[in-house]
Amino acid sequence: MRTEKLYIKGQWKDSAAGDYFDVLNPADGSLVGKMAAAGKEEVLEAIAAADQAFEEWSNLPAQVRSGYMKKWHELLQEKEEIIARTLTAEQGKPLEEALGEVRSGTSYVEWYAEEAKRVYGETIPASSSPKRIMVLRQPVGVTAAITPWNFPASMVARKISPAIAAGCPVILKPAEKTPFSAVEIIKLAHEAGIPKGVIALLAGSAELIGDTLLEDRRVRKITFTGSTDVGKALMKQSADTVKRVSLELGGHAPYIVFDDADLDKAAEELMGVKIKNCGQTCVSANRLYVQESVEKELVQKLSEAFSKIKIGNGFDKDTQMGPLIDGDAYRKVQEHVEDALSKGAKLVTGGEGFHKGDHDQAGYYYKPTILVDVTADMKIMKEETFGPVLPIQRFTTEEEAIQLANNSRYGLASYVFTESLNRGIRVSEKLEFGIVGLNDGSPGTAQAPFGGFKESGLEREGGHFGIESFLEVKYVSISMK
């Protein structure tokens, strides 16, 4: 069992109150360790340290900030297995999948180490000869980063990297269920020599920490990944101090398979995006729309593949899918399946779960499940399930598929499978989603903009787009008379 502390002003420390909370392994409810819980005193201390560090950090040459980040990247590569094992212990996903997540996060550190040197300004032709117009891009200031439990390593790196590359100190609030992955990552940032105050780690009550960060005018920016409802609440609270806000929120991704698609590829790619992390991802294929003439064949391929998935503890070598994060997640999956079946859906495979261990909030598993004859009025076609359940609805025409896919308040990721280039481009342009995987079930990468339309969020993470949301634009008008 491990015991970890908070990271404030370059030091690991207990909270003044001496409070700790338990971190459980979702595979069986066993105790992974105890994490120090920050109180208001620690939050204010972290804000003050970040505010103090801002001037010096932001004024460092970009190459110097980049150098710190490159060292951090090297250490992350060296210690990737330690981070991955920590991730599996507290989050549950298979170890090989956890290692892939760590590498994904590490790629963002590498990318933004270089992007730090590419924050460009502009000159604009003036309207009169004695004038010059200059545009500067400068860091927005102290940033609060709030990360989720489903990707507790990659989200930490993905949020901190562009912020510190731009010159913004970051106060990190990891999810209470999964703080230890963040601890391992921040330990390496400390080892890389990133100056004190530039990064802080505060674990504990989301309400207490979040409210304190949002109320403080020294915090200029909030970046959050999580549910749409929480994101809306953060937007409302941020309005009082007019903070800059980046939100990566819920998704309800449609996966459209046309009759001219390579069905083997469509099935294989879907398995990856659906079973990954037990379906607990914001870009998971939540709604499969298949053209009626190939429905039977595709369902058969998927049913065979789903039934062979090995479920278990993420540390077992043959495990392909781990547990749901907790009992509430399990009950939500059950509710969605039962609602669909009560309204006429038919079960192809799965449809049941099981519980391991004695803890009532951990050790929950659900078998990969396929439902057919699904209709739009079912909860599973309107709400994000966050579990390994695939509802299938058939369609007839291209126009119908687009209409069904867009009929959602969410607009994060979507997927289209067709061998027609014309159709692929046409449908991609009409889908109201920030990400389209065209014959691609894994479109995420460090150099591309990740984010959604509608109620799936604001701003983008990744690529040069990701650093822009941590920069202010300043216009300088120079009179030379």
Single out the residue of 134, 133, 437, 386 nearest to residue 282, CA to CA: 386
DSSP state of 450: B
Tally of structural domains, the chain: 2
Considering the domain architecture, whether residues 14 and 101 belong to the same structural domain is answered as yes
Tell me, yes or no, whether 388 lies in a domain: yes
In sequence order, the β-bridge partners of residue 254 are 287
Considering the domain architecture, whether residues 244 and 118 belong to the same structural domain is answered as yes
Q: What are the distances in angstroms from CA 14 to CA 3, 34, 43, 143, 189?
A: 10, 12, 12, 22, 19
pLDDT in tens, 5-49: 999 999 999 999 999 999 999 999 999 999 999 999 999 999 999
DSSP state of 282: T
Among the residues of 138-248, which ranges form H helices?
154-166, 180-191, 206-215, 228-239
Considering the domain architecture, whether residues 192 and 266 belong to the same structural domain is answered as no
Tell me, yes or no, whether 94 lies in a domain: yes
Buried b (16+ CB within 10 A) or exposed e, 29-38: beebbebbbb
Q: Please, are residues 90 and 152 in contact by the beta-carbon 8 Å criterion?
A: yes
State the pLDDT at residue 481.
87
Tell me, yes or no, whether 450 lies in a domain: no
Single out the residue of 285, 286, 287, 293 nearest to residue 258, CA to CA: 293
Q: For residue 230, give both structure tokens.
A: 């929480």
State the pLDDT at residue 211.
97
371: domain range?
253-445
Single out the residue of 161, 159, 132, 162 nearest to residue 146, CA to CA: 159
Considering the domain architecture, whether residues 57 and 126 belong to the same structural domain is answered as yes
Considering the domain architecture, whether residues 151 and 77 belong to the same structural domain is answered as yes
CATH number for the domain that contains residue 132 = 3.40.605.10
DSSP state of 194: P
State the pLDDT at residue 115.
97
Tell me, yes or no, whether 451 lies in a domain: no
State the pLDDT at residue 1.
84
CA angle 272, 277, 282 (to 5 degrees): 85
Considering the domain architecture, whether residues 119 and 210 belong to the same structural domain is answered as yes
Q: Which residues of the chain have pLDDT under 70?
A: none
Active-site residue set: 248, 282
Q: Please, are residues 127 and 176 in contact by the beta-carbon 8 Å criterion?
A: no
Considering the domain architecture, whether residues 292 and 383 belong to the same structural domain is answered as yes
Considering the domain architecture, whether residues 315 and 464 belong to the same structural domain is answered as no
Main-chain phi, psi angles of 61, to 5 degrees: -55, 145
Tell me, yes or no, whether 147 lies in a domain: yes
State the pLDDT at residue 94.
98
Q: Please, are residues 112 and 444 in contact by the beta-carbon 8 Å criterion?
A: no
Q: What is the pTM of this model?
A: 0.96
Tell me, yes or no, whether 210 lies in a domain: yes
Considering the domain architecture, whether residues 218 and 182 belong to the same structural domain is answered as yes
Considering the domain architecture, whether residues 302 and 214 belong to the same structural domain is answered as no
Considering the domain architecture, whether residues 305 and 407 belong to the same structural domain is answered as yes
Q: Does residue 148 sit in helix, strand or coil? A: coil
Tell me, yes or no, whether 43 lies in a domain: yes
Tell me, yes or no, whether 372 lies in a domain: yes
Considering the domain architecture, whether residues 264 and 149 belong to the same structural domain is answered as no
Q: What are the distances in angstroms from CA 37 to CA 40, 86, 204, 213?
A: 10, 19, 4, 15
CATH number for the domain that contains residue 419 = 3.40.309.10
pLDDT in tens, 148-180: 999 999 999 999 999 999 999 999 999 999 999
DSSP state of 279: G
Indicate the residue type of 78: E
